[in-house]
Amino acid sequence: MILSELIDYGTLRLIWWVLLGVLLIGFAAMDGFDLGVGMLLPFVGRSDVERRVVINTVGPVWEGNQVWLILGGGAIFAAWPPLYAVSFSGFYLAMFLILAALIMRPVGFKYRSKREHKGWRSTWDWALFIGGFVPALIFGVAVGNVLQGVPFRFDEDMRIIYEGSFLGLLNPYALLCGLLSVMMLAMHGSAWLALKTSGVVSGRARRFGSIAALLTILFYLVAGAVLWTHIGGYRITSPIDPSGPSDPLLKTVVAEHGAWFVNYAAHPWLMIAPALGVLGPLGVFFALRSKAEILPLLIGKLAIFGIISSVGVSMFPFILPSSIDPKSSLTVWDSSSSHVTLFIMLVCTAIFLPLILAYTSWVYHVLWGKVDEAGVLDKNSHSY
């Protein structure tokens, strides 16, 4: 017996759909507070020393946190090739903006302290702000477009044709989702700063985080209401074979009002996801206001889990619907790599993901504790 046959094809596809969600949530929960801290840097730090304190809360960990972004992109490439082809080509300019903004982060961290000139350091502070704000916004915009459907189709030779434009991605609903993403990660960054700093920096972070938490709830509820009243969703009308060939054109799909809410009616327990999307930020708000330290960060991760997983749960089994040719939509059951490929990747993931979690936990254990002004001003320290 071939080892890959130990798990049937349909189950492997479902496992990789879950793992893709885990990796995306992991990126938002781990690297998300780095992006949030970058966005907050010019506002919670008023003096050069205060901004150095803010930067040094994420300085030792931000590079390691980006592992989750690499893992997510790699999983899309290897497990869902058509998804990778459509998203990384159709969203090319958006991806370029994200990468350009992310490149500004390491440059900002490394170059800021090279000169003591006020203008020089202020410039790199705003570069770090852009490095946090732009990815957070564009990732949210991408999710908003996915929920609406992306303008792509397959031709008779199974070539992917994208008929959209970059400006078309910046539609009102997508921008609303982008603002939701910005507020969610700003809230998470504030929770991190509340844990890692003290004094006036911590106080400002708590104030900004409280506002971001309330705006996260507002934007999430508005996005859900618009999704229900104006956008609708997609539904497969033909028989589904979970172990069938990876050929999106073999199915029939229709656009239908309320289709993104059908899974909740069929499985009410799935309401846990949107409930966390509302109650999580509310919990962060009260935890920040009560001067709790680690609690806002932990609750913030639950909020991120709820908001992102509610998108996946709503769309299942769709991964990337097509707005111009619904039958070209990519689903869990018809857009994956081969049975053997998914199995080999699963074995590798079972080996290496626990290692990543172990060394990440060890790093955070070693670097536990607050960052203060005395520490960053110490001439013998390795702070930025």
The model's pLDDT over 89-107, given as tens digits with 9 standing for 90+, comes to 888 888 899 999 999 888 9
Q: Is residue 270 part of a domain?
A: yes
Domain count, the chain: 1
Residue 1, pLDDT > 70, answer no
**Do 260 and 28 touch, CB atoms closer than 8 A?**
no
Q: Residue 121: which domain range?
A: 8-369
Q: Is residue 205 part of a domain?
A: yes
DSSP for 108-156, written as a single string = HHHHGGG---HHHHHHHHHHHHHHHHHHHHHHHHHHHHHHH-BSEEE-T
286 class by beta-carbon count within 10 Å (0-12 exposed, 13-18 middle, 19+ buried): middle
Q: Is residue 274 part of a domain?
A: yes
Q: Is residue 36 part of a domain?
A: yes
| H-only helix segments in 158-226 | 166-169, 172-196, 199-226
Q: Is residue 279 part of a domain?
A: yes
pLDDT tens digits, one per residue of 180-228: 999 999 999 999 999 999 889 999 999 999 999 999 999 999 999 999 9
pLDDT tens digits, one per residue of 171-190: 999 999 999 999 999 999 99
pLDDT tens digits, one per residue of 220-266: 999 999 999 888 899 999 999 998 888 899 999 999 988 999 999 99
Residue 71, pLDDT > 70, answer yes
Among 55-59, 74-78, 113-117, 177-181, top mean pLDDT goes to 177-181
Q: Is residue 128 part of a domain?
A: yes
Q: Is residue 282 part of a domain?
A: yes
Q: Is residue 381 part of a domain?
A: no
More confident site: 88 or 36:
36
